[in-house]
Amino acid sequence: MAVSTIMMQKPSWAGEPLRRQWPLLFEASRRKNKTVADALDDDHWLTDLRGRVSPQLLLDFVALRQVVRGCNIDPQVEDIFRWKSASGVYSASSAYALQFDGSAKSPLRHIWPAWAPPKCKFFMWLLLQRRVFTADRLLRFRMPNQYFCALCRRNLETPAHLFAECPWSREVWERSAFSLSYPAIRAPDADDLALSWAVSKLAGTDRRAASLTILVAWELWRERNRRVFCNKELSVSGLVHLIADEANSWVLAGARHLVRRE
């Protein structure tokens, strides 16, 4: 059966199926697969309506009737299928982009462009989602834990405390910024590891700030694990020197932008 195209100026409902514009009429229709040409031929679509006429159904009927009255049908022209893209032509890239239509971009995406070993970036990704196994998370799963922060031994160990509130950690942040000659490195100002802090440090074109932020957080986590599992610990000065040495190793591995600025 030949299909047809409505030859008319672009109406207000163009791009949206009629069944979505008038769902009550579509539900009341007995022949839902009829073509546009067959439906408009001698107003056959009127005879397909059935059931009781509600006030809303009557209003929808009047609205649709006004829309289709001026339609001119060319039965020799077939319907045109257009893809939902600017060009109207299907492509693999447009189909991929359509999968993310209406989605919001996560601030965590700023982690991956930074220069750092994959394990360090993955750790930062877990940290900003509160998924690292600090004492509070271990308690939640009823797993053995040391309860107190391994660095200051004062408070319950949480991600917010370990990396933002702990006085020992904050001193490491401050002295690392001085040692690496980069004042932009600092601990979060808020009481929590907010994503706004991650964006301010990891987003933008300053890859050095992003990389060094990941480095300091990673070495703080390693120091915490060294104390918990190996019963060994470094002083603040020792950890700051270790961070500086690790930064130099990253430079030799390819992170040229970590070289100190004179």
pLDDT at 79: 66
Closest CA to 123 of 89, 163, 156: 163
Token pair, residue 102, equals 């209406």
Q: Using CA atoms, how far apart are residues 1 and 7, in angstroms rounded to an integer? A: 19
Residue 203, CB half-sphere, CA atoms under 13 Å: how many?
A: 11
pLDDT at 261: 53
Tens of pLDDT, residues 220-258: 999 999 999 999 999 999 999 999 999 999 999 988 777
Helix (H) or strand (E) holding 95: helix 92-98
Contact between 134 and 157 under an 8 Å Cβ cutoff? The reply is: yes
pLDDT at 83: 76
pLDDT at 150: 95
Token pair, residue 59, equals 């209003």
Contact between 123 and 159 under an 8 Å Cβ cutoff? The reply is: no
This prediction has a pTM of 0.63
pLDDT at 236: 96
pLDDT at 5: 38
Token pair, residue 19, equals 């069944």
Token pair, residue 44, equals 């056959």
Pairing assessment for the beta strands 5-7 and 72-74 based on DSSP bridges:
antiparallel
pLDDT at 204: 57
Which parts of the chain sit beneath pLDDT 70?
Answer: 1-16, 35-37, 39-46, 50-53, 69-75, 79, 86, 107, 187-205, 259-262
Q: Using CA atoms, how far apart are residues 230 and 233, in angstroms rounded to an integer? A: 8
pLDDT at 244: 94
Contact between 149 and 162 under an 8 Å Cβ cutoff? The reply is: yes
pLDDT at 27: 77
